[in-house]
Amino acid sequence: MKTFIQMNYLKKITMAMMFLAIPLFIVSCSDDDDNNGTSDSNIVQIAQATPDLSTLVDALVAANLTEALSGPGPFTVFAPSNAAFAKLDPDIVNDIISTPSLLTALLTYHVASAELTSDVLNGSVQTLLSGQSLSVVNSGGVTINGTANVTTADVLASNGVIHVIDEVLIPEDFYAQTLAQIVAGSPDHTILLSALAKPELAGLLAAANDPTQNLTVFAPTNAAFEGVLAALGMTSIDDMPVETLNEIVTYHILGGAVTSDQLSNGDVNTLLPGIPGGPEYEFVTVDLTDGVKINNANVTAADLKAVNGVAHVVDAVLLPSYIAYSVGTIAEVVQFNKDFTILNAALRKAELLETVATADNLTVFAPDNAGFVAAGITSLDGLEKEDLTPILTYHVLGAIVKSADLPASGIAATLNGANLYLGYLNQQRVLINGLTEIKAVDIEKSNGVIHVIDRTLVPPAPNVVEIALALADQGEASEFTVLTSLLASDAYAGITQALIDAENVTVFAPTDDAFEEISEVIPTLDEAQISTILTYHAVGARVFSYNLVEGQVVPTLNTQTLKVASINGEAITIEDKTDDPANVIEVNVHGSNGVIHVIDKVLLPNL
């Protein structure tokens, strides 16, 4: 860390109180001052009349000390010139002037409570700053604290004497920089600084730059960041989600200033809240057995004090528990990939992140952010653990199944208890449940494998009949009210029960508009004919749209057949026993025991 101005916080408060009772300093000489004669003007008046002491006068006014310095004294004031103040970092000067306790302490360090002319100045001079003295050498000129020179001596005032000096005197343990300024001034912490500079971390930067805060920062070096980035296969902090970066940086901050001699073995809460199912706040573990260790990191430079706390340099990036146990696992991919921020949030909310990180032999079909949106999930608001758990576990297999080992049967059991149905298309494309495509495969980690999917999988409804009933109960958006009214009648209860009991069934479901097209025909049909029509819409197998082939003849439950008349991209037509084919207008509505395809025409068999 580069040299910085420092100050003990307790001393600042003590001196602020003390100075209410004693006059302060700061003056300079004007051309009219006679160094050998006593002036009728007091120290403040002389300073105000001296252009080269205008910064000092501004400081006195800001600290409300002009009245004290105008008192009877006597005082000796070592008065820094404007050029002396200009040598300081402007940000540091602003910090001092904007913090009265800092300013008071700094000014009192330039004042002695006696009139000490240059002929008696030598050795140790006690200042008004408690416990702090100046070291004066008077030999061919007066030098203070080894570097500050008296450029104009013995400017006599009615209440003391002023010596103009060419440097601002800095007390021991005086800390005027903020934590943010310490980081900004260190060439070993440019990555930490770039993290704090991100808009999403503006709150942390503001706190680190606020002189009124009281914080401890464990500051990882550039080498520490480069080490963790290399372990994650990244080259920059820009590669990781900013939400994760924010959590990591927050984890390095304690809500109070703790110096190294105040640390003790054990756990200390950070400012980072825990995730659901974890502790209220994430904590670091201090180990003083051999030096100072914070978690797995060594403190390589301790007690870099600032006006708003203290920094300790560490040689490794500290990781919150839920990130630490994720490294190298499936959960690492979720937490450190910008495309999985919704999945990451969902796993946390469902308290499943640790399971995905620590359970062995998993296969996860991971929807990216676009996959959640494609399934209509744009926010997790209103979704609780109980809502998310069945959805998320439906994406996980309890064994490692790489793309080359996907089951030939097309059926895979999930941790949810329900099956996934895989369809193998040309060019090695794989669809799940007819709607979701695998877009990237075989991301291997220590506890399993990830396949990325383009649409969140939704666990199937109880059965195809209940799906139809639900779609018929949607108010103005209702469909299938005619179909479900038929299935609900006693006359066709056997058909309904057969559809419920079927292990695998496909239903071509006509819309209400489709039934309207034959509204004049239905009254002419008897129950047996209507039964034949209903069973003509069901196939005794689970047939997704991608299983259909143009020209294919499909047997139905009434022992007659349907024919796939045409397939043109996603446009599919089904031919019945008339010359008017039905258009499939929605495909692959997935149920626990089958699948529904919506059609715009009632299919008519031979009656």
pLDDT of 372 above 70: yes
229 alpha carbon, distance to own chain's centre: 17
Give the model confidence (pLDDT) of 242-271 as tens digits: 999 999 999 999 999 999 999 999 999 999
Give the model confidence (pLDDT) of 272-281 as tens digits: 999 999 999 9
pLDDT of 427 above 80: no
Measured CA to CA in angstroms, residue 571 lies from 267, 272, 549, 584 at distances of 63, 52, 12, 7
| Overall size of the chain counted in residues | 607
Tell me the two tokens of residue 186: 């260190």
- pTM, two decimals, is 0.70
Give the model confidence (pLDDT) of 466-494 as tens digits: 888 877 877 777 788 999 999 999 999 99
Helix or strand (DSSP H, E) at 451:
strand 448-453
Per the listing, tokens 């103040």 go with 85
Measured CA to CA in angstroms, residue 8 lies from 18, 144, 172, 412 at distances of 15, 21, 8, 65
Lowest mean pLDDT among 138-147, 239-248, 284-293, 338-347: 138-147
394 alpha carbon, distance to own chain's centre: 27
The type of residue at 413 is A
| Rounded Cα gap, residues 598 and 423, in angstroms | 19
Per the listing, tokens 């000796």 go with 76
| Rounded Cα gap, residues 102 and 83, in angstroms | 20
Tell me the two tokens of residue 350: 């469902």
Give the model confidence (pLDDT) of 95-129 as tens digits: 777 777 778 888 888 999 999 998 999 999 999 88
| Residue 271 phi, psi dihedral angles, 5° rounding | -80, -5
- Residue 275 C-beta-side C-alpha neighbours within 13 Å: 20
Tell me the two tokens of residue 55: 């910064």
Percent of the chain with pLDDT over 90: 69
Per the listing, tokens 């060594």 go with 298
pLDDT of 426 above 80: no
Give the model confidence (pLDDT) of 489-504 as tens digits: 999 999 999 999 998 9
Tell me the two tokens of residue 306: 């600032």
Q: Mean pLDDT of all residues in the chain?
A: 88
Per the listing, tokens 């002037």 go with 97
Domains of the chain and any CATH numbers: 6-175 (2.30.180.10), 179-324 (2.30.180.10), 338-453 (2.30.180.10), 464-599 (2.30.180.10)
